[in-house]
Structure 1
Amino acid sequence: MTLTASLPFVAFVVWLLALPMEGFLLAHVGSGNAILFFLIPHVVTLAVIGAALPRRMLPPLAAVGGAAAAGSTLLIAQVPAGVPWFLATAGVGSAFVCVKAGSILKRSPTVAVSAAVGLAAANVLLFVFMIVPVPHSVKFPAAAALLLVPTLARTGAQDEADGESNLAPFLPFVFVFQIVSGLMYGALYQEYAEAAFLPGIELAFYVVAVLVGLMFLRRRREGLLALAIVMAMFAFSLVLIDGAASVNVALFAMQVAAGFLDLYLLALLLAQRNSCRAFGIGLAVTCAGIAAGKTASLLIGDASQLVVAVANLVLTSSVLVLYLVMRGEQHLDVAAIPAIGGMADQAEAEAGNAEPTFELMLPPGLRKRFSDQEKSVLACVVRGMTFREAARELGISESSVKTYMKRIYDKMSVSGKEELLAKLGTDQGE
């Protein structure tokens, strides 16, 4: 199920990186600095999807949009003079396909693993796509065919109303940090293309970062953001050093930073209640940041010192934004929860001659993170029930209990039941 849910997302990302995001196919037709023709309509369409599109309309619009983006891919190879118009069309159409692929990815029972698998597999396949010895006249139709995978995939049932609701506080950080990604596309990557020791090897660093990041995601996911900032600062500190080696290492470090941030962002989007809205708004902000960074790089030109100054200013700002976000999220920290079933709750229960509900024992921030069913499952576990006993108590299957618990682990950034109970402030065991 993990691979099935990841496949549409993988196919879309390979197309995205091979063509509109200044990929090797776009470079083949000599259309440098054309990424903004794709990004601007892409951002606008994603924002409209996230803000106003009913979810029932996503599948038919994704079918039309996928066909338009695939057709544009074919036309780019045949009519290079029309690249700006074709990229703009692809930007609008692919937005629906992207959100659909994200909605399918959320159906996986192991969302965090599926996110990591999707990102890693996409970059591995992109490398294979780049080096396979076939003419570009074949690769363009192959790229168009990749879009058919998410376009034709079945969406399945709509999302159930569970998940977090804390996406908005992180969007300013995502926007600010992605400006650095735009600077990379506009300044660093162009220089790297001329000095690369082995073109495509930078993707290996991205894949390793995603796989390493999965371990942080299960424990302290916000650590990924700190690592992304550190690696990005290191990358741009090397820009001022002349030589091919510094350029290569800088790009490798930036790929690691991108891997950490992309994994965090994808996991955060997949944790939201409404994946259509989350992917629309979240990716609109992401792409808007990249577009802003790309625009800045075009205005700066070849002034490497100014590029570094702007990048460090942006990264410093991202640290401040992240600090403010985390400070605002402290009320969600489960360490602040008193021992569940404390004396006040017990007294209230005795007075009312009824057991207090688990939801009342949770602070408002945590109540928003969990669906009603997840809170019911968590209440059973906190009371010391096994998964089988919880399933019998709630009238659901044991596999459903395990699925809900995996989601709870992801949302609480823990790796198992004992760590969860310790974080909730209880001393109850299995």
Structure 2
Amino acid sequence: MHDTPKGGPTASERRSGVRRAFAASLTGTALEWYDFAIYSAAAALVFGDQFFPSKDPLTGTLLAFSTYAVGYVSRPLGGFVFGRLGDVIGRKKVLIATLILIGAATFLIGLLPAYSTMGVAAPIILVVLRFAQGVGVGGEWGGAVLLSSEFGDPRRRGFYASAAQVGPPAGNLLANGVLAALGVLLTEAQFESWGWRVAFLLSGALVGFGLWIRVKLEETPVFKAMEAEQSRPEAPIREVFTTQPRALIAAILCRVGPDVLYAMFTVFVLTYATQELGMERGSALAAVLIGSSLQVVLIPLAGAVSDRINRRLLYGGATVAAGVWPFVFFPMADGGWLPLAVGVVVALAVHSFLYGPQAAFIAEQFSPRLRYTGSSLAYTLAGIIGGAVAPLLFTALLSAYDSWVPLALYVTLAAAVTVIGVYLGRDPEAAVDEDARLAAPTAEAAADAN
């Protein structure tokens, strides 16, 4: 029996479901990005010595960042496999599987012996586990976005979809906070020998918490409506490529600039500050922590703002700012820690006004029945040309030219690519009605589902 005349949930039940979905999307994604960010920070700080020993510290860091890239290159596999399953069997089941996969991989990295103990087997196993992390994250993002946005009012999709977007800065904040605390509590030798492993092993308890939240959640109303209407796609990957190619291209290009900007100011900035500016590791981490803390607030704010003004216009303006800011940041950073920290904070604030509206903007490019697949493919394929190679190229460019100018030009080029994507994308307002129909299925459809 249903509580409303039309067979749907009561207003109170819908509000409760929206809150639970928002929390599940935010916490689950944050925990997965804690795992991913732990690796990113460790690659910049200790993996060069632990798994890729070299007489040249920059070469060791370069090799460590090559395994960082593996986590992005493997994402399309997660997008293809889990994205398809998300449109066929449901959002909830897939999100539980991705959380388990990335949590197990991260926990095992914490137990992996170093190169000095296992030899070449150590970096090989590290790459395999990093690959598994990437597969999990590749299948996570699209579902996390839909988990919150498909429970909420489609007219506030920018805000609700931003729950998944808060995950990366929240996870990055937690990861760098744990690493910074360990760096304070332990000596340099202790941290580099075994202390960094503690952060990886903590993921076991954190993932358990995330699973507890997701298991209790119901499937989204949109997917339930698709089941009731028997409109689930049989071959969603093929349909996306054949029926919505422009949407896919636009969504891919829209992610490149933000990915490169984020890689510079949360990952590569640690290397630049310590190796080029001579700052302490803790000082560099503190700058990232401050910026990430503000992002936790700014990202949902930006998502909400995009519900009130044209989402594409907001995205385009923030992209232009992202392309310009590195030319201001690098001269500032030479002035010491405070200018560096201000520069990182501003960069991550700009990123927030890209990342906040991004989930809704990308999801709105695709029809609801192909939305998990399309969003996941866009997210993962963009990662290969965006975030995957960014730290590697930043490090290589700095090594080759010993100047920040090529680094800034690289960010500007990535921003130009995103401007093209924004131009190709459709105005999100056109997608509101279709989600409103699916979010409130008819009495007949609800009866058929039961």
Calculate the TM-score normalised by the size of structure 1: 0.65
Q: Which runs of 5+ in 2 are unaligned?
A: 1-16, 48-63, 114-121, 183-197, 232-243, 275-280, 444-450
Kept after mapping to 1: 8 A contact 2:78/2:135: yes
Matched residue type, 1:198: A
Give the equivalent residue in structure 2 for 1:234.
325
Matched residue type, 1:202: G
Kept after mapping to 2: 8 A contact 1:175/1:286: yes
Matched residue type, 1:218: R
Point out the structure with the larger helix share. Answer: 2
2:78 to 45, 62, 68: 45
Flag the 1:30–1:92 CA change in 2: closer, same or farther, 3 A.
Answer: same
2:271 to 179, 185, 190: 190
Matched residue type, 2:259: Q
Give the equivalent residue in structure 2 for 1:322.
419
1:308 to 392, 405, 429: 405
Paired with 2:417 and 2:203, the residues of 1 have a C-alpha distance of: 43
Kept after mapping to 2: 8 A contact 1:182/1:292: no
Residue 175 of structure 1: CA displacement? 2.3
SS of match in other structure, 1:190: helix
Paired with 1:28 and 1:176, the residues of 2 have a C-alpha distance of: 21
Q: Deviations over 1:364-419 (max 9, x none)?
A: xx5x76429769xxxxxxxxxxxxxxx9xx988xxxxxxxxxxxxxxxxxxxxxxx
Flag the 1:16–1:304 CA change in 2: closer, same or farther, 3 A.
Answer: farther
1:112 correspondence with 2:158: yes
1:100 correspondence with 2:181: no
1:207 correspondence with 2:296: yes
> Percent identity over the alignment?
12
Kept after mapping to 2: 8 A contact 1:238/1:247: yes
1:250 correspondence with 2:250: no
Give the equivalent residue in structure 2 for 1:351.
none
1:36 correspondence with 2:69: yes
Q: Which runs of 5+ in 1 are unaligned?
A: 335-365, 376-390, 397-430
2:23 to 7, 11, 29: 7
Give the equivalent residue in structure 2 for 1:174.
255
Residue 100 of structure 1: CA displacement? 3.2
1:155 correspondence with 2:219: yes
Matched residue type, 1:187: F
Kept after mapping to 2: 8 A contact 1:225/1:264: no
Mapping 1:30-429, distance limit 5 Å:
30-31=46-47, 32-33=64-65, 34-50=67-83, 55-56=88-89, 62-80=95-113, 81=122, 82-110=125-153, 111-120=157-166, 123-124=169-170, 127=173, 131=177, 136=199, 139-149=202-212, 152=215, 153-157=217-221, 158=223, 166=247, 168-185=249-266, 187-192=268-273, 194=281, 195-196=283-284, 198=286, 200-213=289-302, 214-222=304-312, 223-241=314-332, 242=334, 243-271=336-364, 272=366, 273=368, 274-288=370-384, 289-302=386-399, 306-316=403-413, 318-319=415-416, 322=419, 325-326=422-423, 366=430, 370-371=433-434
SS of match in other structure, 1:201: helix
SS of match in other structure, 1:108: coil
Higher RCO, 1 vs 2 (CA within 8 Å, ≥6 residues apart): 2
Flag the 1:257–1:23 CA change in 2: closer, same or farther, 3 A.
Answer: farther
Calculate the TM-score normalised by the size of structure 2: 0.62
Flag the 1:76–1:118 CA change in 2: closer, same or farther, 3 A.
Answer: same
SS of match in other structure, 1:371: helix
Paired with 1:303 and 1:146, the residues of 2 have a C-alpha distance of: 45
Paired with 2:379 and 2:255, the residues of 1 have a C-alpha distance of: 10
Paired with 2:126 and 2:252, the residues of 1 have a C-alpha distance of: 31
Aligned length, in residue pairs: 345
Flag the 1:259–1:201 CA change in 2: closer, same or farther, 3 A.
Answer: same
Max Rg structure: 1
